[in-house]
Amino acid sequence: MRPLFPPPSAPLTVLLGLLACAGETPGAPVDMDGGPRPADLFALPPGSAAVTLGTGRSAWEDLADGAALAPTRGPQGGVHLFARLRVAGLSPDLYVSFRVVDHDSAEVLSILGPPLRRRLGAGLEAWGDGLQSSNAELCIFLQSNPALLVGRRVRLEVAVREVGGALRGGRDGRSLVLAGGP
């Protein structure tokens, strides 16, 4: 007797695994409500908002230009960097997108899903005169072999835009060297 549903193929299993963890942290909601494409966010001018990129798995950590940062291997076998943001001068309802690009060629090295919608109390928390990530976001590399990433010069970037008709937003980025890690 043939099974009612065939077993999943290897490519389908990999695809579902990538979709399950792309850009997400437990407790941080995803909203795919027809927001902007990631390329649109990164094409916006820097803007009037003060946006600061950081890192840290469980809490904010400053991230200096030129720093060495070790990728982390996730439970599903992917390799990622933890990213966080701080922003001032924007409403507490934002589209957010993170990406990793090659420092020299600008080739996108990370999975670039739809921008994440973050709100105060749902991915954002109050910080000083603005907002910051309440959870680390994952920038998942397309390359899952960490040995091929070590020593590579990359740029970790974040772009944000207010939800709604306005195009107010901002960007920030840091040049990094990927250190030995997972």
The DSSP-derived string for 10-26 is: HHHHHHHHHHHHTT--T
Average pLDDT value for residue range 6-24:
40
**Per-residue pLDDT at 125:** 97
Per-residue confidence band for 15, with pLDDT thresholds at 50, 70 and 90: very low
Domains and CATH numbers, the chain: 28-178 (2.60.40.2550)
d(CA 59, CA 153): 25
Average pLDDT value for the chain: 82
User: What confidence score (pLDDT) does residue 49 get?
Assistant: 84
pLDDT of residue 167: 72
Greater pLDDT, 94 or 15 = 94
Q: How far is 117 from 96, CA to CA, in rounded Å?
A: 6
